[in-house]
Amino acid sequence: MDNFKVIFHIDEQNKAGLVLHNISNLIADLGEENLNIEMVANSEAVKMLVRNTNVFETALKELAEKKVVLCACANAMRDLGIQKEELLDFVTVVSAGVGEIVKKQVEGWVYIRP
Amino acid sequence: MDNFKVIFHIDEQNKAGLVLHNISNLIADLGEENLNIEMVANSEAVKMLVRNTNVFETALKELAEKKVVLCACANAMRDLGIQKEELLDFVTVVSAGVGEIVKKQVEGWVYIRP
Amino acid sequence: MDNFKVIFHIDEQNKAGLVLHNISNLIADLGEENLNIEMVANSEAVKMLVRNTNVFETALKELAEKKVVLCACANAMRDLGIQKEELLDFVTVVSAGVGEIVKKQVEGWVYIRP
C-alpha cells in the first residue's frame, strides 16, 4: 500500500476549522495507516495551537493521537509574543514554518494549502 | 512537447472567478494540447458547481469542453446538503477533495492554489 | 549543501507583507547561498510591484539584492491597465503567472502559497 506524506499549511486563523476538517476527512478517505500528516501553522495561525480558551483543543488532540504532527513556527511565536509553554503539550516548534514546508516538500511530501 | 498536469484547488467561493480566469489563461499560455487540468472544489466552493443561478456556468462549460475535469468533494456536498443531481452535468464527484489532490500530486501533477 | 528552489505565489494584495516576511524568514533559516527563490504575483497582487507610493519598495529591493526573482503576470497587468514602465526596475514580467508557476514546479521547484 502506498504511504502518503502530506503537509498542510495554515497562516490564517479563520481557516483553523477548515484545516482540521480537511485532515480528518483525508484520514477517513485514505486510512490512518497509509498516511504521514504534518500541519504547519505560521503567522497569526499559530494562535490555534495555544492552550486554554482554545475551541480546537479537542480536535487537535484527536489528530495528535492519530500521529498527525502539529507544528508552530518560532518566528511567528516571537512576532506574537507566544512562549512555548503556552502551546498545547503535543505541539512541535519549528524554527521557521516556511523552511519546514520547503524541506518536507524536497523530501517528497505533498503540499495542501486550504 | 511536454505534457503538463495541473491540479487547481479552490475552497473559497469568492475565488471562483479568479480560478476560472487562471485556468483560461494557463490554457492560452501553454496550449490545450499540452495540458491536463483538473479543478477540485471542496468546502463552500462546491457551490460554484451547482446548476441554475450559476453565473459561472458558461465559463465552466467552456472549460469542460476543453477537457478540464471539474470535481466536487462529496464530503463538502454532504456538509452543505447538496445532491449530485443539483450539480452541473459535466461535474465529477470525488469521495474527498483533499484525498483527490494528494493522489494526483503523488502521480506527478503540480498544485496551484489561487 | 542542498540547493533549495522555492516559488512563492501571491494573488491577494493584502498578503504582500506576509509573503515578503515569509521570504526573509526563509532566507534567514536556510541561508541565501542555499536558495533560489522566485515570487510570482498575479491578479490584483501585481499592484505590490508598482513604483511610487509603494510601502513595500524597500523590502522588495532588499530581496532583489539577495537574488530573489520578482515576477509580475502580464495577463494581470493587462486586466489592471498597468504598463511595464510603471513597475519597479528590478521586476520581471512573465507572460502568465500561473504558467510560470507550473513550469517551475515541473523543473523541481517547490511551491508555497501564503
Which of C5, C23, C25 to probe by mutation at the A interface, max A CB count within 10 Å?
C25
State the average pLDDT over residues A25-49. 97
Residue B66 has pLDDT above 80, yes or no: yes
| Contact (CB<8Å) B29/C105 | no
Domain limits for position B13? 4-112
The three-state DSSP-derived secondary structure of chain C is CCCEEEEEEECCHHHHHHHHHHHHHHHHHHCHHHEEEEEEECHHHHHHHECCCCCCHHHHHHHHHCCCEEEEEHHHHHHHCCCHHHECCCEEEECCHHHHHHHHHHCCCEEECC
Grid cell of C8 as nine digits: 512563492
Question: Of B43, B96, B102, which is closest to A4 when you measure between CB atoms?
Answer: B102
Question: Of B9, B99, B113, which is closest to A29 when you measure between CB atoms?
Answer: B99
State the average pLDDT over residues A74-87. 98
Residue A32 has pLDDT above 60, yes or no: yes
Residue A17 has pLDDT above 60, yes or no: yes
Taking alpha carbons only, the member of B77, B90, B81, B104 closest to residue B4 is: B104
Contact status, residue A80 vs residue A59, Cβ threshold 8 Å: no
Question: Of B18, B29, B111, which is closest to C95 when you measure between CB atoms?
Answer: B29
Per-residue pLDDT band for C2 (boundaries 50, 70, 90) equals low
| Contact (CB<8Å) B25/C96 | yes
Q: Which residues of C touch B (CB under 8 A)?
A: 9, 11, 42-43, 75, 95-99, 101-103, 105-106, 111, 113
CA distances from A60 to A4, A54, B99 (A): 20, 10, 20
The CATH number covering residue A32 comes to 3.40.1260.10
| Contact (CB<8Å) B43/A18 | yes
DSSP state of B50: B
State the average pLDDT over residues C106-113. 98
The percentage of residues in chain C with a pLDDT greater than 70, rounded to a whole number, is 98
Rounded to whole angstroms, the Cα distance separating C7 from C112 reads 6
Residue B93 has pLDDT above 90, yes or no: yes
The predicted pLDDT at position B57 comes to 95
Q: How many distinct structural domains can be found in chain C?
A: 1
Per-residue pLDDT band for A2 (boundaries 50, 70, 90) equals low
Per-residue pLDDT band for B22 (boundaries 50, 70, 90) equals very high
Q: How many residues does chain C have?
A: 114
Please enumerate in sequence order all residues whose Cβ is within 8 A of that of C56, keeping only pairs 6 or more positions apart, or say none: C16, C17, C20, C48
Tens-place pLDDT, residues A49-72: 999 778 999 999 999 999 999 999
- Give the gyration radius of chain C's Cα atoms: 13
The percentage of residues in chain A with a pLDDT greater than 90, rounded to a whole number, is 96
- Write down the residue that cell numbers 493521537 correspond to: A65
Contact status, residue C62 vs residue C68, Cβ threshold 8 Å: no
Taking alpha carbons only, the member of B89, B72, B88 closest to residue B80 is: B72
pTM of the full structure: 0.97
Tens-place pLDDT, residues C13-32: 999 999 999 999 999 999 99
Taking alpha carbons only, the member of C72, C33, C37, C69 closest to residue C51 is: C72
**Mean pLDDT over each residue of chain B, to the nearest integer:** 96
- Assembly ipTM: 0.95
Chain A closest-CA separation from residue B99 CA (Å): 5
Tens-place pLDDT, residues C31-51: 999 999 999 999 999 999 999
SS3 of B54, please? coil
